[in-house]
Structure 1
Amino acid sequence: MARLIILGPPGSGKGTQAEYIARHFSIPAISTGDLFRAHVKGRTELGAEAGKYMDKGEFVPDHVTTGMLRLRLQDGDAAAGFLLDGYPRNAAQVLALDELLSSGRHAVDVVIALTVGDDELAARMLRRAKEQGRSDDTESVIKRRLELYRDETHAVVTSYTERGLLVSVDGTGEREAITAAAIAAVQAALERGSVAGPGRD
């Protein structure tokens, strides 16, 4: 059983890695983007609220995102663990996740942080923008996106580092090698016993 979180800046390949890592541990990869799309498509109450913000290009409020995650974690496939991609993304969501998991006497086991240099991230996103014909992804826009990501997630990284749950994984190189390194880092953290404590199994 593993309850994991993956963090990484835009262009780090976080979504791709999440799928492969989750598959290895036989747990679902749960991304906030997928949750938003599922609720909007299903025309749920939460989806309608999220859609108002998404249509304007604004962040979906924490209480809406957390509400969607609460429902998702009640699904049977998440009973044996999960890998969260895109949540928590700020200090308030870290506390909300603590509360969500504490109701089942669980806690986060390991937080994977993919690290990639800014020059590499910018090159990847510019290449992707060119392939997808996205003229809005300029160097200045990409730089701003990276700054916003770091500002927003600083508290998340700090919190999980202080708890001894964060493992850094080099996000450069071949996809297979990054996946293998991430899996090895998670397994080592679990075996170290640094994640043992009240409410953990």
Structure 2
Amino acid sequence: MASTSSSSTTPRYAITAVDKQRSALDKLLKDPQKPAFIPTPPQDKTIRPAREMMKNVQGSSAGAGSGEFHVYKASRRREYERIKLIEETAQKETDTAEFERKRKEAEALAESKTAKNRAKRQKKKERAKGKGESNNNKSTSEAPLKKRRLVNGQELVFRKPGEGSDSEGDEEVGPQAPVEEKETVAPLEGPEIVDTAPRIVFHDDD
């Protein structure tokens, strides 16, 4: 029974990367208080620098059959590693320079396209603005003149109190009531009337 229970708990299919990640997350979230292990980033490969002066340079046949052959093999291995590291560093610098060059070219191309589109938008905006101003001027020039009210043959201009201009100083502020004019009756001209009625004259006796 123990064998059957142990076999039932084990999965019967190949574990994928998703399953591994899920199990790692479940294990991490099982105890939230436990600090998570963060691995250190990989460091660049370093080797022991070469000696400034080699007093005794051994060849491939110098150490053959002697006890110094392993010394020759170790020095040759270190030299090969140093040359390989130099080549990898040079290749990495070349790839980085190529990537930076392509990135700058892409940025310059995108900037040129953006500047071109910006210039088009600005030109279109200025054209639309000029067209709108011309339409406003045209509509203003073709606007019908406003009719003004005439009172006693004089033109009235409605303005706010305290508002005035030098060129229109002779205009009145607001409507005014018509002024009643008194009619003067001229005497009728005609022949003079002569009084021909008899008159009584009294004389006093002295």
**TM-score, with length taken from structure 1:** 0.15
Give the structure with higher Rg (CA).
Answer: 2
Higher strand share: 1
TM-score by length of 2: 0.15
- Bigger relative contact order, structure 1 or 2 (CA pairs below 8 A, ≥6 apart): 1
